[in-house]
Amino acid sequence: MQIDPAALPLTHDDIRYIKAGYVSVDVLSVGRDFAPAQLRTWIAGGQLPAAPYVLPDGTPMFPRDELALFDAAGGLDGTRALFARRFSSIAREYGEPAPADTIASEWESYLGGAYSICLREATPENIFRKERLCARLTALLAEPRPTDEAWRAELRDDVDALDVLERAFSPCDRIRFGRPSSRERFITTPRATWVDVFARGTTE
pLDDT at 4: 87
Give the type of residue at 150.
A
Domain boundaries in the chain?
67-199
pLDDT at 2: 64
Beta strands 22-23; 60-63: pairing state: antiparallel
How far is the C-alpha of 163 from the C-alpha of 166, rounded, in Å? 5
The per-residue pLDDT string of the chain (204 residues; one tens digit each, 9 = 90 and over) reads 467 898 899 999 999 999 999 999 999 999 999 999 999 999 999 999 999 999 999 999 999 999 999 999 999 999 999 999 999 999 999 999 999 999 999 999 999 999 999 999 999 999 999 999 999 999 999 999 999 999 999 999 999 999 999 999 999 999 999 999 999 999 999 999 999 999 954 443
The alpha-helical segments, DSSP class H, found in the chain are 12-21, 25-28, 36-44, 68-73, 79-93, 100-111, 114-118, 124-142, 149-165, 173-177, 182-183, 189-193, 195-199
Distances, alpha carbon 85 to alpha carbons 79, 81, 98, 181, 195, in Å? 10, 6, 10, 29, 39
